[in-house]
Amino acid sequence: MSSPGRWPVPARWPVLALAGLLLTACTPTQQAADPAVPDAASPRARPTTQGGEKLARPSYVVTVGDSYISGEGARWAGNTVGNAHGVDALGPDAYDDQGGRESQPGCHRAEQSIATLGLPNLGAKNLACSGAATRSELAGSRFTPGLDFYRDSRGNRGQALLLERFAGSHDVSHVVVSVGGNDFGFGSLIARCAGGFIGFGPAGRTACSDDARIRSVFAEGNVRSVTRDTSASLSRVGRAMRRAGYAEADYTMIVLTYPSPLPTSAQVRYARDDDRFRAGGCPFFDADLDWANDTALTTINASVTAAVRRLGAANVVRLDLARALEGRRLCERGVSTFPASQLASWRAPAAAQRLEWVNRVYFTFAPWQVQESLHPNYWGMRAGQDCVRRLVERPVPASATCLPTGRLAPDGSPVMRLAR
């Protein structure tokens, strides 16, 4: 079993890349102010009739929130450090959502997201942003829109304001939300865990679950604070819809919990540290794998659940994705990397049954991006997509849990099921 101790220092390039990951994840941010003055250009009511008749046009499912819903990492349909062509499902323009470029640099709003359901007369609009928290943030020159009504003279807009504008001119039937994880600093926590595994930093090789600073993030007081912020952000989503002319009965808000991207120590397929680091791309100690599942993810999802309960809106459904990737997580037994699978490409029959549904921790650059690490890949996104599709087709009150079935659809994508 993997535990801290002596281990040959990894090659210099991954250490330098991890330094970039840590700096990116831990860059101090300034919470952007949320101006109280309404945006005069924002529509206030959706035009649903013309000449007394209802307009015949598609409804939309809109996504708002963070990287777990924006489609971050969905470009890739398997893990490799070799030729990426065999796993490149969406191509180099995967995140270009506005005429060959990103509408908001760094948001990684994938061309296919969890809201791209393929149902008749139902469109998708992706307003989510990788790295988003409950409030908009400024980190140097980079703006990350949160779930608020922020706006400034440079054209930056919060996601709640973007939602209000879109809903005012389109018929929105569902708003799907993923938020709260970044308020716990989940990205920087994972970066510190990976850094502790390879010995990056003055403490050498140490389990991050032993770090008092990391444990303090999940202390009761901070959890209460994040829960309040998360609930307030959900309230702003509702306010955006009201300002666009919707009553609660006009749409459904689906709030997602987070899927587990990593197996427990009992389920990881690599026993040796070197294999975890180089072959699997899962540089985590056994203790940290268990802590990530039993403490970090459990606490974050409990906070999201409490935030939904605190909101108390009748049109809100919590969709629990905690176990949606089980059996296909990074470095989990029963699945493999792309090279080990010996598949010709991600399009091969049964590829989604043999490959992982979560991106490895990337220490390299082009064509991979560090921020794609540990996010659901193309297959993971398709699994989440099927979860949302089932909830849209057959609504349930209050809450549902989405689980894998092990079966594939005719197009090779995962078939999921909902449980109460």
pLDDT tens digits, residue range 388-416? 999 999 999 999 999 999 999 999 999 99
Ranking 184-193, 309-318, 371-380 by mean pLDDT, the lowest is 184-193
Strand ranges (DSSP E) for 102-141? Answer: 122-126, 137-139
Contact 73, 376 (CB under 8 A): yes
Return the pLDDT at 9.
40
The residue among 17 and 281 whose pLDDT is bigger is: 281
Q: Which residues contact 136 (CB under 8 A, 6 or more apart)?
A: 31, 32, 34, 143, 144, 145, 146, 148, 150, 156, 158
Rg (CA), the chain: 21
User: CB burial class (10 A; 0-12, 13-18, 19+) of residue 223?
Assistant: middle
Each domain of the chain, given as residue ranges in start order, spans 12-39+59-419
In the structure, what pLDDT confidence band is assigned to residue 364 with cuts at 50, 70 and 90?
confident
Instruction: Give the C-alpha separation, 334 to 349, whole Å.
Output: 17
Is 90 exceeded by the pLDDT of residue 12?
Answer: no
In the structure, what pLDDT confidence band is assigned to residue 15 with cuts at 50, 70 and 90?
very low
DSSP string, 346-402: TTSTTHHHHB-SBPPPP-S-TTS-GGGTTSB-HHHHHHHHHHHHHHHHS--SSEEEE
Instruction: Give the C-alpha separation, 244 to 238, whole Å.
Output: 10
Which tokens sit at 83? 């030729």
205-262 tens-digit pLDDT: 999 999 999 999 999 999 999 999 999 999 999 999 999 999 999 999 999 999 999 9
Is 60 exceeded by the pLDDT of residue 44?
Answer: no
Instruction: Give the C-alpha separation, 326 to 328, whole Å.
Output: 5
In the structure, what pLDDT confidence band is assigned to residue 19 with cuts at 50, 70 and 90?
very low
The mean pLDDT value for 40-62 works out to: 59
The pTM score is 0.90
Is 60 exceeded by the pLDDT of residue 271?
Answer: yes
The mean pLDDT value for 101-115 works out to: 93
Is 50 exceeded by the pLDDT of residue 20?
Answer: no
**181: left (phi > 0), else alpha (psi -120 to 50), else beta?**
alpha
Return the pLDDT at 202.
77
In the structure, what pLDDT confidence band is assigned to residue 99 with cuts at 50, 70 and 90?
confident
Contact 104, 131 (CB under 8 A): no
Contact 160, 236 (CB under 8 A): yes
Instruction: Give the C-alpha separation, 82 to 51, whole Å.
Output: 60
β-partners of residue 79 are: none
The mean pLDDT value for 65-81 works out to: 97
177-207 tens-digit pLDDT: 999 999 999 888 988 999 999 998 777 899 9
Is 70 exceeded by the pLDDT of residue 125?
Answer: yes
Q: Percent of the chain scored above 70 by pLDDT?
A: 87
The mean pLDDT value for 165-175 works out to: 98
Return the pLDDT at 63.
98
Cis peptide before 397 (omega within 30 of 0): no
Instruction: Give the C-alpha separation, 138 to 28, whole Å.
Output: 9
Give, in order, the Cα–Cα distances in Å from 53 to each of 3, 49, 171. Answer: 68, 5, 15
Residue type, 197: F
Return the pLDDT at 363.
81
Contact 295, 303 (CB under 8 A): no
Q: Where does 12-39+59-419 sit in CATH, by number?
A: 3.40.50.1110
- The string over 165-182, giving b where at least 16 C-beta atoms fall within 10 Å of a residue's C-beta and e elsewhere, is bbbbebbbbbbbbbbbbb
Q: Which residues contact 408 (CB under 8 A, 6 or more apart)?
A: 350, 352, 353, 414, 415
Is 50 exceeded by the pLDDT of residue 27?
Answer: no
In the structure, what pLDDT confidence band is assigned to residue 4 with cuts at 50, 70 and 90?
low
Ranking 36-40, 61-65, 105-109, 268-272 by mean pLDDT, the lowest is 36-40
Return the pLDDT at 263.
98
Return the pLDDT at 25.
45
Ranking 1-15, 103-117, 380-394 by mean pLDDT, the lowest is 1-15
Ranking 52-61, 100-109, 257-266 by mean pLDDT, the lowest is 52-61
Query: Tokens 């090659």 identify what position?
Result: 11
Return the pLDDT at 407.
98
Segment (H or E) for 238 = helix 220-243
Query: Tokens 């032993």 identify what position?
Result: 210
Which tokens sit at 73? 């990492």
Q: Percent of the chain scored above 90 by pLDDT?
A: 80
In the structure, what pLDDT confidence band is assigned to residue 305 with cuts at 50, 70 and 90?
very high
Which tokens sit at 108? 């990684």
